[in-house]
Structure 1
């Protein structure tokens, strides 16, 4: 239920408010071999002209998906799943044709060699793994020398106030980790205002269990909204020394 509410909130936040937003696209993802529905695939909607993120969702238990509230324009749909080759579809929402039904969309298993199919080898801007929302940092453009705070401002579902406090999926972020570790204590702003945006590979948002729950394995209901910054391998060396040294 929590994941469904999360998806509904994202679709509302990420939709682009241009013109009348009464267009829609739907479809069902199928496996190419056993002819069965593909559940839990990420469906990312991008604008064709600049690949900017419009909205995203996941396929349901029957492999189906639907994105609504779309304005007129040209779009590209990126379909991804950990066990399948990426698949891309382009379509146009117009005043004459506002509802797009893609029908059955077949994804090819990773084990298959695709000699006659164009594979879209790109990471989607956002993926959902369980209750974790993962952002691909390279999909969100920032100016030169930008810090992580500026990067987060571009990500749907994340809000950064003027004082630097962060809200993710409607909840206040209590901790910002770096590669899963606490380097900056209990003040998220130390990390977001000192780390360069171009050092980040992935941004993960999730509910972190309390220390007691992590020890016992039992959820005590005291989870804390947390952001984890996964750094690029070539950016890790010397980064923390520069920060602690006042660079």
Structure 2
């Protein structure tokens, strides 16, 4: 019985220590009460380091999940509106901030002093991320870049944007690696990327007939830097470790105007099957 009680206590303590919380709210235009879609929400530690970011949805709602207890600074920004900032403390329950109204007007002096590139902007139905606003290592892949973008998740080999599975990746509006978004992102270096667009692409039938059948698929369009649209790039990697385990491979891509050629290969004995 003593052993059982000890194990039960440890189980409860483990669950309590792993408990997480969330911060949610809804962002509206102060004048018209219109929901502001694509507002950029940053959650920061008290010393200013960004902890998590997210974009508001079409109804203006946002949710920052998986948070630990403690104090945070919340900042909301939207093009053409004044920034909103407040302190938020999580002390044992989720925080619902309710309605947050942003006032029109931009403090130009702050913009001129900081000179920061916006992480994302909303253009109609398309969310556009600026690659230059995210820091990556020199040899990072597009996958590593996308993981840093708010609203983007890569988990168990699947790419998700705004809560939906990404079905296709385009490069400058053209298909890249067919219907395998993960392979496309893993084999494209981050340094060639200028912007990444996220949108709902109509079905082939709708594009062909001109009639909207309501069928859409979440799509990423990678816009490359103008000086990177003609040339070759790639990488080679290899490793050897304990118990004679090894892994090696490489990829190279050739961009020449409208042509996109990619060659990939790998060899290993660690049951790595995807590229």
Q: TM > 0.5 between the two?
A: yes
Query: Contact (CA 8 Å) 2:147, 2:153: kept in 1 or not?
Result: yes
**How is 1:140-151 mapped onto 2 (pairs within 5 angstroms)?**
140-151=134-145
Q: 1:56 and 2:69 equivalent?
A: no
**Correspondence for 1:137:** 131
Query: Contact (CA 8 Å) 2:36, 2:58: kept in 1 or not?
Result: yes
Higher normalized contact order (CA 8 Å, seq sep 6+, divided by chain length)? 1
Instruction: Quote the RMSD (CA, aligned, Å).
Output: 4.1
Unaligned 5+ runs, structure 2: 1-16, 233-252, 265-275
Task: Give 1:177 deviation, angstroms.
Answer: 0.4
**How is 1:1-247 mapped onto 2 (pairs within 5 angstroms)?**
21=21, 28-30=28-30, 35-37=31-33, 39-48=35-44, 49-58=48-57, 60=59, 72-81=70-79, 84=80, 87-93=83-89, 95=91, 104-108=101-105, 118-119=110-111, 122-155=116-149, 156-162=151-157, 165-239=158-232, 241=254, 244=261
Larger Rg: 2
Change (3 A) 1:68 1:51: closer
SS in 2 for 1:198: helix
Change (3 A) 1:46 1:238: same
Separation of aligned partners in 2, 1:28 and 1:221 = 28
Separation of aligned partners in 2, 1:125 and 1:199 = 17
Count of equivalent residues: 215
Of Structure 1 and Structure 2, the greater strand share is in 2
Query: Contact (CA 8 Å) 1:24, 1:68: kept in 2 or not?
Result: yes
**Correspondence for 1:5:** none
Change (3 A) 1:146 1:131: same
Separation of aligned partners in 1, 2:102 and 2:156 = 41
Separation of aligned partners in 2, 1:135 and 1:41 = 14
TM-score (norm 1): 0.63
Change (3 A) 1:27 1:167: closer
Query: Contact (CA 8 Å) 1:153, 1:160: kept in 2 or not?
Result: no
Separation of aligned partners in 1, 2:178 and 2:142 = 17
Separation of aligned partners in 2, 1:157 and 1:131 = 16
Unaligned 5+ runs, structure 1: 1-16
